[in-house]
């Protein structure tokens, strides 16, 4: 693959990207890089004021639309206002937060990181022309997809295991979407990516001792600019294969330049992926149509 950087992004004029969570962190870096390459970038964010600052710096090819992934009504409202999109980057997320629920009563991390993006992708799919990129994490290896209790209603809550489940769900979804698109004869791609260990504000909103530890830990982390490279590669490189998982090429995939990486056996379990898909459609009320 070589040492691919944001400077290698080809001209994106005439293409429209939706980037969730683009007001800060990896999403902001991705939006800026895509805007610099000439793309029209829709910053899909809950905090529209912060997103507005970023959009103003990108220029007239950037737009801000409100999207709260923890509220399915907001997801539907946002999707209804999008006329067309070439690439959807499911970037936004929360990490290791205290136990809580979304507006619709889902466990916060599963509801925001997975169900919100599942609903968004399904509602936009008939207008996506090129690909969907879904952000996962190396923490998917911590997760187990519990289809009997995905919202931690009967289990003792563990914020890190819940985060791992949500990131595993992201991968299961990305791979299953690839299979279903391929089966339908669609040219739309589905890829997954992860940033390795990148210094962003995601780790400072856990409301735990982790927030203080990250002040030290971030000294060893790679920059958000480096962490965003895998999702940018997955979103813009023509030869990036559908169904692939892009992450850093360094030791333990913690830092480095983008390359195709592997994932654990749980993420490749087709029966679990199909079960998650059905449960996600039931919970969100969003049923996918593949044009058959």
Q: What is the DSSP string of 209-254?
A: THHHHHHHHTTTSBPHHHHTHHHHHHHH-TTPPTT-EEEE-SGGGS
Query: 5 lies in a domain?
Result: no
Q: What is the pLDDT of residues 235-283, one digit of tens each?
A: 999 999 999 999 999 999 999 999 999 999 999 999 999 999 999 999 9
Task: Supply the DSSP symbol for 21.
Answer: T
**Regarding predicted confidence, which is higher, 208 or 185?**
185
Which pLDDT score, from 0 to 100, does residue 1 have? 47
CB–CB of 12/40 below 8 Å?
Answer: no
Active site residue 175: no
What count of residues does the chain have? 292
Query: 88 lies in a domain?
Result: yes
Query: 1 lies in a domain?
Result: no
Which pLDDT score, from 0 to 100, does residue 244 have? 98
Number of domains in the chain: 1
Which pLDDT score, from 0 to 100, does residue 200 have? 72
CATH code (residue 119): 3.40.50.720
Q: What is the pLDDT of residues 61-105, one digit of tens each?
A: 999 999 999 999 999 999 999 999 999 999 999 999 999 999 999
Choose, from 157, 163, 175, 233, the residue flagged as catalytic: 163
Q: What is the pLDDT of residues 90-146, one digit of tens each?
A: 999 999 999 999 999 999 999 999 999 999 999 999 999 999 999 999 999 999 999
Helix (H) or strand (E) holding 97, with range, is none
Query: 187 lies in a domain?
Result: yes
Q: For a pLDDT cut of 90, what percent of the chain falls above it?
A: 90
Does position 57 have pLDDT exceeding 90, yes or no?
A: yes
| Separation between Cα atoms, residue 139 and residue 129, nearest integer Å | 30
Which pLDDT score, from 0 to 100, does residue 199 have? 82
Query: 193 lies in a domain?
Result: yes
153 bridge partner residues: none
Query: 4 lies in a domain?
Result: no
CB under 8 A, 24+ apart: contacts of 179-188: 179/243, 179/270, 179/273, 180/277, 180/288, 180/290, 181/242, 181/290, 182/242, 182/243, 183/290, 184/290, 184/291, 184/292, 186/290, 186/291, 188/125, 188/128, 188/129, 188/130, 188/131, 188/132
Task: Supply the DSSP symbol for 198.
Answer: B
Q: For a pLDDT cut of 70, what percent of the chain falls above it?
A: 92
CB–CB of 256/196 below 8 Å?
Answer: yes
CB under 8 A, 24+ apart: contacts of 176-179: 176/270, 176/273, 176/274, 176/276, 176/277, 177/121, 177/132, 177/134, 178/242, 178/243, 179/243, 179/270, 179/273
Among the listed residues 16, 36, 130, 115, the one whose alpha carbon sits nearest the alpha carbon of residue 68: 115
| Separation between Cα atoms, residue 8 and residue 30, nearest integer Å | 13
The rounded mean pLDDT for the chain is: 94
Which pLDDT score, from 0 to 100, does residue 218 have? 54
Query: 6 lies in a domain?
Result: no
Which pLDDT score, from 0 to 100, does residue 210 have? 53
- The alpha carbon torsion through 136, 64, 79, 183 (nearest 10 deg) reads -40
Among the listed residues 168, 61, 58, 170, the one whose alpha carbon sits nearest the alpha carbon of residue 116: 170
Residues 6+ apart with CB under 8 A from 150: 107, 110, 165, 169, 276, 279, 283
Query: 224 lies in a domain?
Result: yes
Provide mean pLDDT across the span 42-49. Answer: 98
Residue keyed to tokens 């980037």: 19
- Which residues form the domain of 76? 11-284
């Amino acid at each position: 693959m070589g040492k691919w950087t944001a400077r290698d992004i080809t001209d994106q004029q005439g293409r429209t990207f939706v980037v969730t969570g683009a007001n800060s962190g990896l999403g902001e870096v991705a939006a800026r890089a895509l805007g610099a390459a000439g793309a029209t970038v829709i910053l899909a964010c809950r905090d529209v004021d912060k997103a507005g600052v970023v959009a103003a710096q990108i220029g007239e090819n950037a737009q801000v639309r409100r999207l709260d992934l923890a509220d399915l009504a907001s997801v539907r409202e946002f999707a209804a206002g999008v006329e067309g999109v070439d690439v959807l980057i499911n970037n936004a997320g929360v990490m290791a937060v205290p136990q809580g629920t979304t507006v619709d009563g889902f466990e916060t991390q599963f509801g925001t990181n997975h169900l919100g993006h599942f609903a968004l992708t399904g509602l936009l799919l008939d207008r996506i022309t090129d690909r969907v990129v879904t952000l996962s994490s190396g923490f998917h290896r911590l997760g187990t997809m519990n289809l009997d209790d995905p919202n931690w209603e009967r289990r003792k809550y563990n914020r890190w295991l819940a985060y791992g489940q949500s990131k595993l769900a992201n991968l299961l979804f990305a791979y299953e979407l690839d299979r279903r698109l391929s089966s339908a004869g669609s040219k739309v791609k589905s890829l997954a990516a992860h940033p390795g260990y990148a210094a962003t504000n995601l780790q400072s909103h856990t409301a735990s001792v982790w927030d203080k530890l990250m002040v030290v830990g971030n000294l060893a982390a790679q920059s958000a600019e480096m962490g965003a490279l895998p999702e940018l590669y997955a979103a813009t490189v023509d030869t990036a294969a559908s169904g692939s998982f892009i992450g850093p090429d360094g030791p333990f995939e913690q830092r480095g330049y983008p390359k195709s990486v592997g994932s654990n056996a749980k993420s490749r379990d087709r029966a679990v992926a199909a079960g998650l898909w059905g449960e996600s459609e039931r919970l969100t009320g969003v049923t996918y149509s593949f044009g058959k």
